[in-house]
Amino acid sequence: MLPTILDLSSLRAAYQSGLTPLDAIEEVIARRAASKDPAIFITPVPDEQLRAAAKALMARAPEANSLPLWGVPFAVKDNIDAAGLPTTAACPAYEYRPEADSTVVARLKAAGAIIIGKTNLDQFATGLNGTRSPYGAPRSVFDAAYISGGSSSGSAVTVASGLAAFALGTDTAGSGRVPAAFNNLVGIKPTPGLLPNTGAIPACKSVDCITIFAATVSDGVAIRKVAEGFDAADPFSRRAKPANLPVSGLRIGVLADAEREFFGDKEVEALYDQAIERARALGATIVPFDYAPFREAAALLYDGPWVAERLAAVETFLATNAADFDPTVRGIIEGAKGKTAVEAFNGRYRLEELRRKTEAEWETADVLLLPTAPTTYTVADMLANPVVLNGRLGRYTNFVNLLDCAAIAVPAGFGKGGVPGGVTVIAPAFTDDALAPLADALHRAASSGMGIDRQAAIPEASPVVPGDDGLVPIVVVGAHLTGMPLNHELTRPGGRRIKSCRTAPDYRLFVLPDTVPPKPGLIREPGFDGKGLEVEVWKVTAEAFGRFVQNIPAPLGIGKVTLDDGSQISGFLCEAHAIEGAREITELGGWRAYVTDQRIPK
């Protein structure tokens, strides 16, 4: 049986105990059929296609947990392309069918994740509330009268209700954070450009981010590391330049009294105060700061010329299909028609002036701790006053991408009415990894569970550890060894060799016939008493690892290889049928010895 919330640690433990991805997918299918919220998905992957995907994964990588996200079900916001599924951006007339996955989806699938469907959103990712869609309004998993948050509404609900282990959203103004707060989840909002936007429909192209909803901070970070990496096809993609935060003596900026605004919601204000005290108990120094320049920068996103970017994204379609837009979304986007180039430059100048003012605040605080949203609303209230109430939800989120920050939203507890609130930790660009331990500690200290399961214990097996280099180890045995013909596939993307070593004694090595360049087949035979085989351990980026997996020709695949020190690392293995009649070279001790013996060109 799977737990209510599908965190990675529990899934991996279940797989190690004998559960298969097909078993997990059957459970997902059953949960999806039993869901009482009909507005979560725009396009669910049909049941038989899900089963086929699970079977294909088991054939490609038969060993449990042999890929970073082996058998992990996930959902994708329907403004991000997934091959074979329509992309609508919550506008049926806009629908198209992409031939290829977006870059991020491709990386996740290569790592073993299984997509279960495309999720609902505020149309063209314009909104923070989740009610602006012709496909309905997904609801908070805790009270169907309340909004789920938007624009990544369906993505948050899939994770919070236990349908998926994680989901992709997007975030321009807070759409990867507000839905997390309203559904008791973690929202990973990376530094802009860290996750490439290739294959995602832009809202404001210069500040958009693909984001991750997950049950825990460690899950979100692990998934982000698989998905991130420079992509030349995205003009806004950036190479990571990790930045540190103090390990001790951390200064956390909190709202000064003059900048506190909760629109009368005393319960959310109390949850914010409790989060501040948790941060203090963790050893942080609490520093009130002036939020005014951040608030003024936030206002530029909708009240300034950046709204013209939303028009730029859909201008041609709007010219012929205005009637197909949600009325509120159309009003916002058409409001950009009067904007001039002069206003755009003046807006940019004003943003830089405000950025300079915020620099003074960063001199006094290492991290900001803010309410994710100052309050929440019922669906009925939001529909009655869609612009004003939506604007309130972004009070503490709209500035983050404009000012090039990383952020992680975490649960902060529940009010007396049973509706959750959240807080967000924010720091300058590329502090993504450095923010994670604090976010993780705050989530654990809140004791609010994960998603709909308020009593769930956050797995201790997957704490966030600072200093992880984010690289994936891989064992190579043949043509990828140092000096061999395919070694460039490791070195070109920046891989580095960790060590040369040997496998455990029960491995055998064969020459695979008719392979170019020549390749060996590594087979494990329990009980075989050999001397071990020469291999190398390399570390590569998650992107490079995904390419390996995607491009490996049959009969080779990736599985866990046991080394002579007892450790297990993913590496190249061979299907047993392929060695029938093949020459065995185990006695030579490794592929390099065979190449030397046969004088095969390196």
DSSP state of 587: G
pLDDT tens sequence across 27-61: 999 999 999 999 999 999 999 999 999 999 999 99
Same domain, 278 and 172: yes
* Poorest-pLDDT segment among 312-326, 401-415, 563-577: 563-577
Last residue of a domain, one of 446, 480, 498: 446
Same domain, 56 and 114: yes
Report whether pLDDT(600) > 80. no
Q: How many domains does the chain have?
A: 2
Same domain, 521 and 395: no
User: Of the segments 1-5, 264-268, 519-523, which one has the largest average pLDDT value?
Assistant: 264-268
Q: Which is nearest to 9 in space by CA: 409, 571, 566, 464?
A: 464
In which band, very low, low, confident or very high, does the pLDDT at 463 lie, cut at 50, 70 and 90?
Answer: very low
Q: Cβ of 14: how many Cβ atoms within 10 Å? A: 20
**Does a structural domain hold residue 460?**
no
Last residue of a domain, one of 377, 412, 446: 446
**Does a structural domain hold residue 317?**
no
- Provide the CATH number for the domain around residue 13: 3.90.1300.10
**Does a structural domain hold residue 310?**
no
Domain extent at residue 78? 8-266+269-294+354-446
**Does a structural domain hold residue 533?**
yes
Same domain, 421 and 540: no
Same domain, 31 and 175: yes
Same domain, 483 and 431: no
Same domain, 435 and 559: no
Same domain, 114 and 62: yes
3-state secondary structure of 298: helix
Last residue of a domain, one of 446, 463, 488: 446
pLDDT tens sequence across 339-375: 999 999 999 999 999 999 999 999 999 999 999 999 9
Same domain, 569 and 497: yes
Dihedral (C-alpha) 220, 224, 227, 228: value to the nearest 10 degrees?
170
Report whether pLDDT(602) > 80. no
Q: Which is nearest to 182 in space by CA: 148, 137, 131, 139?
A: 148
Q: Which one has a higher pLDDT value, 568 or 94?
A: 94
**Does a structural domain hold residue 324?**
no
Which residues are annotated as catalytic? 77, 151, 175
**Does a structural domain hold residue 302?**
no
Helix (H) or strand (E) segment spanning residue 573: strand 568-574
Same domain, 22 and 117: yes
In the numeric block, which tokens belong to residue 285?
């120094």
List CB contacts of 174: < 8 A, sequence separation 6 or more.
Answer: 128, 372, 373, 393, 394, 396, 397, 398, 400
Same domain, 36 and 177: yes
pLDDT tens sequence across 283-310: 999 999 999 999 999 999 988 889 999 9
pLDDT of residue 598: 67
Same domain, 226 and 120: yes
Beta strand pairing status for 73-77 and 166-171? parallel
**Does a structural domain hold residue 328?**
no
DSSP β-bridge partners for residue 366: none
pLDDT of residue 470: 64
Q: Which is nearest to 282 in space by CA: 440, 430, 424?
A: 440
DSSP state of 485: T
In which band, very low, low, confident or very high, does the pLDDT at 542 lie, cut at 50, 70 and 90?
Answer: confident
